[in-house]
Amino acid sequence: MGEAGEFNGEFHQFVVQRSRALSRTAFLLTGDHQLAEDLLQAAFARTYRHWRRIRGDQPEAYVRRVMHHQHISWWRRRRVTERLTAAPPERPGDDPSIAATLRVTVAAALQQLTPRQRAVVVLRYLDDLTEAQVAEVLGCSVGTVKRHGHDALRRLRAIAPKLVDAPRERSVR
């Protein structure tokens, strides 16, 4: 197999192995499944272009950074005209289980944070990255990550106090 084949094989293997976790991150950043798919595809496309340079480092951190920057760019371009309501609209066929309610509550609460706060919460608490890793992904200091995390958690407690008492379930991830 030539260098190009090995290059493509490594990238393909990375995409297959990490797509699910990165897709979850993209959804939590955007709050929309279609936007999350677009965001992840854009991040993978940019990662592919730079794969030779980053494949030995931490390619997942690079993809997360690209997703964060791309999401901020999209957010700036299209100021959302939708308004969040206190409760999501009822849809026929939705499972009214506790886990589904918790997921909806988390997603709605995350949408009320600033993009930077949302990124910190998603990367730090839902993707289990350290503060240093989050700072690297976002291109800021650890102190900035701590400040945004603190502000975000305070705001989440005010927005959705029932999240504080909610049982921790793996199904939220």
- Quick one: tokens of 85? 């309501």
How many C-beta atoms lie closer than 10 Å to residue 170's C-beta? 6
* Tens of pLDDT, residues 51-90: 888 877 788 989 999 998 888 887 776 655 566 677 766 6
Interatomic CA distance for residues 66 and 72, integer angstroms: 10
pTM, 2 dp:
0.53
Interatomic CA distance for residues 111 and 28, integer angstroms: 9
Residue 65's nearest CA partner among 32, 42, 37, 33 is 42
* Tens of pLDDT, residues 1-40: 455 556 678 899 999 999 999 999 999 888 889 999 999 9
- Give the DSSP per-residue string, 36-95: HHHHHHHHHHHHHHTHHHHTTS-HHHHHHHHHHHHHHHHHHHS-------SSPPP-TT--
What residue ranges define each of the domains in the chain, with the CATH number in brackets?
Answer: 1-82 (1.10.1740), 88-173 (1.10.10.10)
